[in-house]
Amino acid sequence: MPLKRFGVARILNKRGYCSRSVAENLVREGRVTLDGRLVRDPETPATESSKITVDGKPVSKIAHVYFAMNKPRGIVTTASDEKGRKTVMDLLKGKLPQHVFPVGRLDKASEGLLLFTNDTAFADRILAPETHLEKEYHVQVSRAPSREEMEQMKKGVLVPPRVFGESPEQMRMADVRVLRTGEKTAWLSVVLHEGKNREIRRILQTFEIEVLRLVRVRIGNWALGNLKPGEISKLSLDNA
CB–CB of 152/121 below 8 Å? no
- Per-residue pLDDT, 111: 97
CB–CB of 162/198 below 8 Å? yes
- Per-residue pLDDT, 37: 95
Residues whose CB falls within 8 Å of the CB of residue 102, separated by 6 or more in sequence, listed in order:
77, 78, 88, 89, 114, 115, 116
Residues whose CB falls within 8 Å of the CB of residue 52, separated by 6 or more in sequence, listed in order:
8, 11, 12, 15, 32, 33, 34, 46, 58, 59
DSSP type of residue 40: -
Catalytic center residues: 107
Strands 175-181 and 52-54: unpaired
- Per-residue pLDDT, 210: 97
Q: Give the span between the Cα atoms of 212 and 107, in whole angstroms.
A: 14
Q: Give the span between the Cα atoms of 116 and 98, in whole angstroms.
A: 11
Structural fold of domain 66-129+222-239: Alpha-Beta Plaits (3.30.70)
Distances from the Cα of 72 to the Cα of 69, 96, 112, 230, angstroms: 9, 18, 7, 6
Structural fold of domain 134-219: Pseudouridine synthase (3.30.2350)
CB–CB of 23/16 below 8 Å? no
CATH class of this structure's domain 6-58: alpha beta
- Per-residue pLDDT, 29: 96
Q: Where are the domains of the chain?
A: 6-58, 66-129+222-239, 134-219
- Per-residue pLDDT, 1: 52
Digit-by-digit pLDDT tens for the chain (240 residues) are 566 788 999 889 878 787 788 899 999 999 999 999 999 999 999 988 899 999 999 988 777 889 999 999 999 988 777 788 888 888 888 777 767 889 988 999 999 999 999 888 888 888 888 888 999 999 999 999 999 999 999 999 999 888 887 889 999 999 999 999 999 999 999 999 987 889 999 999 999 999 999 999 999 999 999 999 999 999 877 655
CB–CB of 55/31 below 8 Å? yes
